[in-house]
Amino acid sequence: MIDQTIGGLPLFLMIAAFILPLATFKIKSKVFYHAYATGVTAVALVLSIINLLIVRRDGTVIYFFGGWPPPLGIVYEVDAISAFFGVLVASIMFLAVLYSIWYMREFDGVEWYYVLMLGLTAGSIGCVYTGDAFNLFVMIEVLSVAAYALVAFFRSKPEALEAAIRYGLVGATATTMYFLALVFLYGSFGTVNMADLALKMRPWIVTSNPEVVHYFNQLSGSLFGNPVLGAAVAIALSLWAFTFKAALFPNHFWLPDANPEAPTPVSAVFAAVIDSIGIYAVLRFMYTIFGPDSLLATGTYMNIRAPVMTILFILGLASALVGALLLAIQKDVKKLLAYSAISHVGFIFMGLSVGTSAVSENIRILAIGAVIYHVLSNSIGEALLFFTSGVFIMSTGSRNLDVLAGLGRRYPVALVGTIIGVLHLFGIPPLAGFFSKYALFMAMLDAGNIIGAVALVAITGISLLGYVRFMYIIWLGRPREEVSLRIKSEPLTAVIPIVLLVAASVVLGVAVQPVLKELIMVADTSFSAAGVTRYISAAVDLLRLLQG
């Protein structure tokens, strides 16, 4: 099915971002800037929800640009997983912009801040909606440029500029790696369309339906050279870039550097959105294009997928452990939360990696459902703690935990949010964080990955020290008499995002059965053999429609 709202949403956000600087020639009001950005992100959230409902009703939907059909032109192809991540991105960005209304009230350059936030939103949604591997590169660049600039937003601080330069240099290297991966993909497969790549990795789809290959091969041709070697190099380069975005060890180092220097709403976005984009890209490549039923996993050429998944498991385990250990020793509250995010990304990759061809499809789908649940859970928890910490940081002007001691008793909503956020991320029932970890634990057990299941429990125990220390200092710590507070009461636009995220943590935990059932259905619809076939067929149906 062709749907205009699929292509319209990222374009709408891009146009909105470019209009705002033009509006500043006539309008100099911060109130307008706040209202404009809040309204735009609210519309984006509504459109993303509409797209999700359309996908639930009609299945995979496509939008193609400029009249050029796939695989020759750029298309947005949105299935259940794309629609889910689109809503997640739009929700967090809306809450971050709403939170920014009070947070940015004292700072100059608010209009440029919102231009960058809208650009980051457009790039992020473009990443999850695109059905073209090259367009994914373009959208990663869009969100990356906005992210680099947001880290340097407080440009009068040398630390912010240094962090932005480091982040930008390494980020540019990562995206260059991905661009080189595209060269190998195109050179080996003659296409960068994701549906076409997935098709060429599954020749039995062609055998069962010769019309499918007819529609694609008339434009993109057949395989060239050694497709296994080309795919292996492309996967290695792509995963280097994607794990950088996800902040997975050893590519995690940018997050603890960039997070503290960025405005607090941006810090929340880094941990809750940008990390999720990296995870989504890995899912799309390793389950849709080079899935467990593809040529690279069946031994027709050489099974290179299994060792790749093993490497991802090892990196996930290392990331979870490193994050949990470093979490416990941080005095900078933003660095503490950054290492918390790194640890949870590690858990996600541990679960993601169990989906090899050695386990049944049913177990793989349950594991991916658990992964999606934990992505959602982690985004909620990290955003919540960054928002509550922002209240304390703005009140004192310090990120040092010792300076923030006892402040929770002065700001009750932020204190409740902090307690819920800590318990959520550590994993205490009935909060969603417990059930998402439990789902990952059971998925690894079902897949026979005993090491992963035991490590998840052990590393969670290690993280307890850091989480309890953080909560104790904020709640029961002895306030410093010399610290003067700049905020008398919690602003409404800070309270609303905190309350909504607390509610989400509780509701998604209490309603764990229907939530997990829904997310497993998302995984099945998107990444089962039948789901991938539907993803390919949607592009073929579009070609048939366009060619009469």
Mean pLDDT of each 10-residue bin along the chain, 548 residues long: 73 91 86 93 95 90 79 86 95 95 87 93 94 93 93 86 89 92 88 88 66 65 71 91 91 86 92 93 93 76 82 95 92 92 95 85 93 95 95 87 86 94 94 94 92 94 92 86 74 93 95 93 91 86 70
Three-state DSSP state, 144: helix
Strand runs labelled E in 12-163: 61-64, 75-78
DSSP state of 130: B
Contacts of 389 (CB under 8 A, 6+ apart): 264, 333, 334, 337, 404, 418
User: CA 456 to CA 346: how far, in whole Å?
Assistant: 9
Amino acid letter for position 183? V
Contacts of 158 (CB under 8 A, 6+ apart): none
The pLDDT value given to residue 516: 93
User: CA 15 to CA 26: how far, in whole Å?
Assistant: 18
* Cβ-contact 249, 342 below 8 angstroms: yes
- Torsion on CA atoms 51, 53, 59, 60, rounded to nearest 10: 10
Q: For residue 288, which of 80, 70, 31, 16 has the smallest C-alpha distance?
A: 80
Q: In a 10 Å sphere around its CB, with 0-12 CB exposed, 13-18 middle and 19+ buried, how is residue 463 labelled? A: buried
DSSP state of 290: S
Q: Other C-beta atoms within 10 Å of 122: how many?
A: 25
The pLDDT value given to residue 213: 65
The pLDDT value given to residue 25: 85
Amino acid letter for position 412? P
Two tokens, residue 203: 């020749």
Amino acid letter for position 4? Q
Two tokens, residue 89: 């991105």
- 400-431 per-residue burial string, b: 16 or more CB within 10 A, e: under 16: ebebbbebbebbebbbebbbbbbbbbbbeeeb
Secondary structure, 3-state, 430-486: CCHHHHHHHHHHHHHHHCCCHHHHHHHHHHHHHHHHHHHHHHHHHHHCCCCCCCCCC
The pLDDT value given to residue 358: 79
Two tokens, residue 448: 């026979």
Three-state DSSP state, 330: coil
The pLDDT value given to residue 217: 66
